[in-house]
Amino acid sequence: MNEIVEQFRRALRDIWLHRWIGLIAAWLIVIVGAVSVYLMPDQYEASARVYVDTQSVLKPLMSGLTVEPNLDQQIAMMSRTLISRPNIEKVVGMSDLNLTAKTNEQTESQIDYLTRSIDLRSSGGINLYTIAFRNSNPDSARKVVQSLLTIFVESNLGNKRKDSDTARRFIDDQIKAYEQKLTQAENALKEFKINNLATMSGNGKDYFTQMSEAGNELATARLSLEEAENGRTALRRQMAGEDTVLLGNGSDSANTQGVSMPEIDSRIAALKHNLDEMRLRFTDAYPDIISTKRIIAELENQKKSEVAAMIKASPTRSPLAANPVFQQLQVQLAQAESDVASLQTRVAAYEGRYNKLKAAANNVPKIEADLQQLNRDYEVNKANYEKLIGRRESAQMSSDMDASAGLVEFRVIDPPRVSPRPVAPNRVLLVSMVFLGALAGGVGVAFLMGQIRPTFSDRKALREISGLPILGTVTMIWTDGQVRTRRRKFTYFVAGAAGLVCLYGAGLAFFLAHSVAA
């Protein structure tokens, strides 16, 4: 700690020894700095505030019907890319700054200066932006801000229209391409169906389902044919006399079974029906039930008598052809023959279809797979085509809505305005910094001179530097004249330092008055 204090004392002693050089350096720094601050041109700031309203009333109403871009993201991106070289070149032309540029180097310098000086920032609100620019010419500053504001509004609208047109053109090209694909798929599907019409089903069923249904239909038809043939055989046997009931000699009820007597049979059936209904309510001793049984027995006897009389009147079988019962059997046999023939035709058709499907067992699955692939391609192309049509309508609706009402509205909150007073440079602050710099510079120069031309102020320093023992020291005794000279020099130094402070005060007062007057 003592060493540090000792070094500090030595540094102060060196600075004091070269104080006049330090004072001269401080005066030079103050004079040059003050003149530089005075000669700096005044900077006027032009600014404008714009609000981008993306909350349109139509936006929620048209939700789901139109394309909804991320407007906030687009505006944010536009604000970040506003200060780009193409836009700055436009600003140079719109604000007439290019008239002062005679060479390409000057033009590049102007572009670089504008790029560094233009300030675009958010003003603390959503989509609220401030555009500011400083220049020594107030009119040029206002023109630059107005140009940037115009570019900001028009470029955003132009980009939206350009993006919308590009999207529509792309969708139209895709629609044309998918129209061709859809037409090709339809033609391929049509030709495939024409070429394989014989092996394809019109109800959309696959090959194995058709095969199973054809087998079931064939089995059902064969069973029906067998039943019809059995019925026909029974009718033939009755007519041939093998099972006939018309040619028997007995008069019992068994001989009359199967004989049709329409009038008597209908009466017997009606009486039996009435008898069954009465038995549900009465006993067999009820008079009506007894009477009904008696009538039924009489009718059955009457039927037996008529059948016996018919048999006696026709001793041979050939006369039975005129018998109504025999005629009815002939009609039934003819109907049975017709049914058998139709069923045989149906069985043959089903057998042909089943054999055809069975013979095509190796080709039909491949045909069905090809058909499914064609249908799948067609459905995919059709779905994409319909989606593209819907997207085109949405894009057109969005474009129409934007053209009529607009999803984005630019509101200029503060038009371009130039500050009445210069906003820069802050001469008061600068001259204070110059004064502090002068003090630091003077001290630094004096310290540097002490390092360049070192002196020894005590025995200890000399012993440390030389490494030799010090035998003694000689004290300096100042005469009266030398004391007066030293005092006079000290007075001059204090006056010089005070003058430096007064110069700073005068400059500070001058620049304060100048800023108030401006």
Q: What percent of the chain has pLDDT over 70?
A: 74
Side chain identity, residue 112: D
Peptide bond into 69 cis (omega under 30): no
Tokens for 315, please give them. Answer: 């001793």
pLDDT at 32: 92
What value does the mean pLDDT of the chain take? 76
CATH code for position 164: 3.30.1890.10
Tokens for 232, please give them. Answer: 């026909």
Q: What is the pLDDT of residues 314-328, one digit of tens each?
A: 544 444 455 566 667
Count structural domains, the chain: 3
Whether 332 has a pLDDT exceeding 60, the answer reads yes
Q: What is the pLDDT of residues 494-512, one digit of tens each?
A: 998 898 889 888 888 887 8
My answer on whether 71 and 54 are in the same domain is: yes
Q: Model confidence at 42, in pLDDT bands (50, 70, 90)?
A: confident
pLDDT at 316: 46
Higher pLDDT, 120 or 347: 347
Q: Are strands 128-135 and 119-122 parallel, antiparallel or unpaired?
A: antiparallel
My answer on whether 163 and 234 are in the same domain is: no
Query: How far apart (Å, rounded) are the C-alpha atoms in residues 306 and 473?
Result: 186
| E strand or H helix at 201 | none
My answer on whether 216 and 343 are in the same domain is: yes
My answer on whether 360 and 285 are in the same domain is: yes
My answer on whether 396 and 429 are in the same domain is: no
pLDDT at 517: 56
Collapsing DSSP to helix, strand or coil, 366 comes out as helix
Q: What is the pLDDT of residues 216-270, one digit of tens each?
A: 888 888 888 888 888 888 877 776 654 444 444 444 444 455 555 667 777 888 8
Mean pLDDT of 121-144: 80
My answer on whether 512 and 485 are in the same domain is: yes
Per the structure, the complete domain to which residue 59 belongs is given by 44-175+391-418
The answer to whether 235 touches 332, Cβ cutoff 8 Å, is yes
My answer on whether 344 and 249 are in the same domain is: yes
Whether 295 has a pLDDT exceeding 60, the answer reads yes
Query: Is the residue at 299 inside a domain?
Result: yes
pLDDT at 27: 92
Instruction: Please name the residue ranges forming H helices in 196-250.
Output: 207-240
My answer on whether 237 and 361 are in the same domain is: yes
Q: What is the pLDDT of residues 395-449, one digit of tens each?
A: 776 666 555 544 556 778 888 888 778 777 788 888 889 989 988 988 888 888 8
Query: How far apart (Å, rounded) are the C-alpha atoms in residues 126 and 124?
Result: 7
Mean pLDDT of 293-301: 86
Chain-centroid distance, C-alpha 33: 62
Side chain identity, residue 317: R
pTM over 0.75: no
Sheet holding 119-122, edge to edge: 119-122, 128-135, 44-53, 409-418
Tokens for 404, please give them. Answer: 């009529």
My answer on whether 251 and 347 are in the same domain is: yes
Tokens for 320, please give them. Answer: 């039975």
